[in-house]
Amino acid sequence: MDLRFGDSKPTDEERAAIDTLLGPPESSWEGADRSDADLRWARGGRAARERRDLLLPGLHAVNDRIGWISEGALDYLCRRLTVPPAEAYGVATFYAMFSVKPRPATVLHVCTDLACAAAGASELCAGVEARLGLGSGVSVERSPCLGLCERAPAALAVKAGDPVRTAVSAPATVERAVLAASAPDSAPEEPPAALAVPQAGRADREDLVLLSRVGVVDPASLDDYRAHGGYTALRQAFAIGPAGVIREVTDAGLVGRGGAAFPTGRKWQATASQPDHPHYLVCNADESEPGTFKDRVVMEGDPYSLVESMTIAGYAVGAHKGYLYLRGEYPRALERMEHAIGQARARGLLGDDVLGQGYAFDIEIRRGAGAYICGEETALFNSIEGYRGEPRSKPPFPVEKGLFGKPTAENNVETLVNVLPILTMGSQAYAEIGTGKSTGPKLFCVSGSVDRPGIYELPFGATLGELLDLAGVRKRLRAVLLGGAAGGFVRPDELDIPLTFEGTREAGATLGSGVVLAFDDTVPLPRLLLRIAEFFRDESCGQCVPCRVGTVRQEEALHRIVERTGAAAASDIALLREVGRAMKDASICGLGQTAWNAVESAIDRLGAYE
């Protein structure tokens, strides 16, 4: 692609897909047939440029309808938004779910990441590829984590068309995956979200706070949600005012649940106090950390709780618009959230006058398209704005200049839904859950070599051993990966580690977003580490040299180590340490800074290559 427009033309279907999103073009400057007036002056350029943020939805529209993005379609979309073709090409090729080369209308994404790899993803891929060979009309793509770890191995079929059709196969067999790809409408329905919550069927489920409604309420029914305490917290928020909400959240000690553990009250206060307007709220539902699926379960099982909590957060920070950035690999969560937002809007719980309180707030969903780096908040802002999802340098921080250059509060799903119990039970009662420095309940994603994989809710301070006892470890435990691919391994004799931010830090590990992947002695650890290295190589945005080069060098060294053993590995381990230090010290964002963590812990704590 060039900075200039080419001669390629969109097909009628491609044009229709884009016009359905953007509306018909008003002049030839946007792609309509030329009129005499168009020869005299240019119209609509500035207005079109102000819609640059519709570039990603436009790419989705074409990819959903056709299955790939042709040069003609990209050219037409660029004309509609007055985006240079080279920039749009850079965006389109940034995301794994898009293709700028012809491919079949049906794509079968087969997860090959950590939990699925341990559950036989390699054999599944080989079997599916053998059954769906050339000429089948299906493209089989090996995919990073699909967020279905409790039902590993997993596959997601996407069939382009109007409308696009999807089918999830998990746990997947060759036969089920082939059926999902060949006839997505005939594939078995996914199990309810409650099956991902093993505690939901226990007698002590009344101890659940964040997951109390999953499996109890109908996720499609707003009335059922309200009958089980829904919108009590929002009414309380209106009663105490924005400053009161921030004070309650601060006094409760709520910190971010995405891994950074930044105090939520401080973030909200800093955003609310900015004189520049408008303010924005962004919910980060792009959980792409291998082994993480808690946000998906909440959105599928209790979607109105997220709508309510986003409304409260927007009210607190002075925002009238909220964006929900949702993983492209979560079709059912997308469906549930679209329905919940539509129902809330129709019932006066979103819109110009929320609950008759004179406060205007609405939520817009933006779909990701397969980029782990977009979990970083500033990369997420760039993605929404229609640019490549590359992190920005800080300062300025998002509370000063975030989305569209305006003050922005960004939180993930779990952080936001914690606001509901804070307002309903009071900050003091909430703070009594957990420990002094890590307050409240925490969601843990447990998968791998366990009998009951799923989402577990425990108060901060429970030990790793207590959590694994609930999940039921199979066979002989070899290692536990805490925090996902960006986390670190711990040994079986370290299960007394308290699951708090400070407790894991003191133990030389990290809690991260709450990933707990258990591996027994049948799992080949060197191959697992190589998969982690491949993941970071693929997901590096390439913006900074330490990460762009370091992740490649790390993978190369691990390839050599896996292929040979003994003393020959010593020089590569030394190289790994040197590369790891460089990535940790000099990378611009957390991806490069943590890409070496799991490998380092496996070498130092587990003696992986001894």
pLDDT over threshold 80, residue 411: yes
Who contacts 95 (Cβ-Cβ below 8 Å, separation ≥6)? 59, 328, 368, 369, 370, 371, 389
Four-point Cα dihedral 54, 59, 64, 67, nearest 10: 170
Confidence of residue 338 (pLDDT cuts 50, 70, 90): very high
Whole-angstrom Cα distance, residue 492 to residue 516?
A: 13
Do residues 337 and 331 lie in contact, with contact meaning Cβ atoms separated by under 8 Å?
no
Query: What residues are paired with 282 via a beta bridge?
Result: 323, 410
Whole-angstrom Cα distance, residue 408 to residue 284?
A: 12
Beta-carbon count within 10 A of 569 CB:
21
pLDDT over threshold 80, residue 216: yes
Do residues 309 and 234 lie in contact, with contact meaning Cβ atoms separated by under 8 Å?
no
pLDDT over threshold 60, residue 203: no
Whole-angstrom Cα distance, residue 326 to residue 60?
A: 13
Mean of the pLDDT values across residues 133-159? 93
Confidence of residue 134 (pLDDT cuts 50, 70, 90): confident
Q: For the chain, how big is the Rg over CA atoms in Å?
A: 24
| Distances 119 to 115, 145, 189, 488, 515 between C-alpha atoms, Å | 6, 13, 22, 20, 17
Whole-angstrom Cα distance, residue 54 to residue 143?
A: 26
Comparing 565 with 490, the larger pLDDT belongs to 490
Q: Residue 567, SS3?
A: helix
Task: Supply the mean pLDDT for the chain.
Answer: 92
pLDDT over threshold 60, residue 69: yes
Q: Look up residue 422 and give its two tokens.
A: 């804070």
Greatest CA separation for the chain: 79
Provide the b/e sequence for 258-272 (b: ≥16 CB within 10 Å): bbebeebbebbbbbb
Whole-angstrom Cα distance, residue 145 to residue 296?
A: 13
Q: Look up residue 448 and give its two tokens.
A: 């791998």
pLDDT at 135: 78
pLDDT over threshold 90, residue 533: yes
Mean of the pLDDT values across residues 292-310? 97
DSSP output for 140-173: EEEES--S-GGG-S-EEEEE-SSS-EEEEESS--
| Distances 439 to 263, 314, 416 between C-alpha atoms, Å | 11, 23, 15
pLDDT, tens only, 354-408? 999 999 999 999 999 999 999 999 999 999 999 999 999 999 999 999 999 999 9
pLDDT over threshold 60, residue 60: yes
pLDDT at 35: 64
Half-sphere CA count of 515, side-chain side, radius 13 A: 32
pLDDT, tens only, 179-189? 999 999 888 99
Mean of the pLDDT values across residues 68-84? 94
SS3 letters across 430-473: HHCCECCCCECEEEEEEEECECCCEEEEEECCCEHHHHHHHHCE
pLDDT at 43: 61
pLDDT at 44: 63
Q: In the sheet that 106-111 helps form, which strands lie side by side, from edge to edge?
A: 138-143, 106-111, 155-159, 165-169
Nearest to 197 by CA among 516, 518, 454, 470: 454
